[in-house]
A = this chain, B = another copy of it.
Amino acid sequence: MAETDKELLKELYRRITEISLLHSCAAVLEWDERTYMPPGGGNHRAEQKALLSGMVHEKFTAPQIGDLLKKAEDSLSGAAADSPDRVNIRELRRQYDKLVKVPKSLVEELEKTTTLAEQAWVEARRKSDTAPFLPWLEKIINLKRRYAEAIGYKTEPYDALLDDYEPGETAANLKQVLENLRLPLVEMIRAIADSDRKPKSEILQRNFPLDKQEIIGRLAASAIGFDMDSGRLDVTTHPFCIGIGPGDTRITTRYNANHFGQAFFGILHETGHALYDQGLDKSYFGLPMGESVSLGIHESQSRLWENVVGRSLAFWQYFYPWVQKLFYDSLKDVSLEEFYFAINEVRPSFIRVEADEATYNLHILVRFEIEHAIFSGDLKTADIPAVWNDKFKKYLGVEPPDDRQGCLQDVHWGAGLIGYFPTYTLGNLYSAQFFAAAKKELTDLEKQFASGQFSDLLNWLREKIHRHGQRYRAAELVVKVTGEPLNSRYLLEYLRGKYAPLYGI
């Protein structure tokens, strides 16, 4: 590369890194708002955030960025496709084009509409009455259609929405993958329901003092590799993980004194996200090579640690003695096997965030099928409640008693997050496929877990996934890591492997 080209690239990186730095200031404000900010500070915080996001948008869509990008593309045309500079420029181009293609008026209308729609959703959910929310959803759908047309798509408009959360993913592919899950899962869940083996689920609903839950949560997060000197664990209402910058990744949870699992597995989940964040290449901070691939890949890391590792027998062979000792009054009469069965109970339920590993994906399937049909014009919004309940009955064998526990339970649609739900199940699929590959390459993983050793697995994930940032898009990464494209059989095998011995199915 010529000297002037190097200078131009450096200048582009300088600008982009500065924008990311500014964006990371907003992350501190976000974390603060959701953990410690006093209620009186809400209005001012909204103004602060609007200012920062406006500045980030303005700086990123500046014509100079477009010029520099163009020049960088020309000068890099000879470099390898997966060389860091090519990757950075490819992804910056993708982001830049999206941002400049969407008219400012549409962005503002979407923002205004979703703010009001969220309020309407809160009210609709409170009253468990979907009708008043539907006009808002219609409006959002229409705006999102305009959005999809503005940025373009591969085959159908819904692909454009998917691309925001899972770049490169398509409705057609997703439909196939999810469809492959449907029947086997429905059958598995039916067999489990018919089994006369049942865990003692009340075990988890005994008394678990909050301070001890925090101790064991921190212990587990540290044990699987979370660096507490470069992060924090705090309490919040809706748990999240947020990366503030190199050396500062924070997780949150909420404790329920009458449920062991909510905080514990929540912490493992957020720790999974955090480990990905802490494993990114710090020297690329602010550039695509230092950023995570997609929501689905991010979710694969959280699900892997929460479920594949965190609900495994080997994990609890190590952890249960600690937990039993700490909560002696509540667990003294509970064996490891009983505890393990309880944390792996499968029971069809109405609320997604409380669903078990098997039924969870059917919750997502219902949402995907509905939002895809709505967006394609094959379904009217007025029919959502009936279709929702019908699908629940068909897939899960249960029917929500009201819309609050049905189609109104999640904020996503009201917040304009259409095309987002599938990333949850993609995360589950990726996690099972990644772990199957890890088990092939690493020996004695279960023996390691049973003795509290998790570093081999973490290092493998760092080496295979984390350190690459956005070098590969999700579909390509899956092939690189596991040797084949995303295949739903890994998740099904994993689930069968767990539930067959437990439920005798």
Interface residues of A (CB under 8 A from B): 18, 21-22, 24-25, 28-29, 31-32, 36-45, 47-48, 51-52, 227-232, 234, 244-248, 250, 285
Contact = CB atoms under 8 A, between A and B. Distances in A.
7 closest cross-chain pairs (CB), A and B: A41-B248, A40-B230, A40-B247, A44-B245, A41-B247, A40-B229, A21-B51
Q: DSSP majority for the A interface?
A: helix
Nearest to A17: B47
A108 to B, nearest CB: 18
Contacts of A52: 25
A25 B228 CA distance: 25
Given A44-B245, A44-B248, A45-B248, A25 B51 contact: yes
Contact of A39 (B18, B43, B229, B246): B229
B29 A25 contact: yes
A229 B38 contact: yes
Query: Quick one: copies of this chain in the complex?
Result: 2
Given A36-B234, A44-B246, 18 more contacts: A18-B51, A21-B48, A21-B51, A22-B51, A25-B25, A25-B29, A25-B52, A28-B29, A28-B32, A32-B32, A38-B228, A38-B250, A39-B230, A40-B227, A41-B244, A41-B248, A45-B245, A47-B245
A20 to B, nearest CB: 10
Contact of A41 (B18, B32, B48, B230): B230
Contacts of A32: 28, 31-32
Contacts of A229: 38-40
A23 to B, nearest CB: 10
Contacts of A25: 25, 29, 48, 51-52
Contacts of A245: 41, 44-45, 47-48
B231 A44 contact: no
Contact of A248 (B31, B37, B246): B37
Given A28-B32, A232-B38, A246 B48 contact: no
Nearest to A227: B40
A477 to B, nearest CB: 27
20 contacts: A18-B51, A24-B48, A25-B29, A25-B51, A28-B28, A32-B32, A37-B248, A38-B228, A38-B229, A38-B231, A38-B232, A38-B248, A39-B229, A39-B230, A40-B229, A40-B247, A41-B248, A44-B246, A44-B248, A47-B245
Contacts of A244: 41, 44
Contacts of A48: 21, 24-25, 28, 245
A504 B48 CA distance: 56
Nearest to A33: B28
Given A29-B28, A51-B22, A52-B25, A36 B246 contact: no
A490 B23 CA distance: 51
Contacts of A227: 40
Given A44-B248, A48-B24, A230 B29 contact: no
A264 to B, nearest CB: 22
A245 B50 CA distance: 15
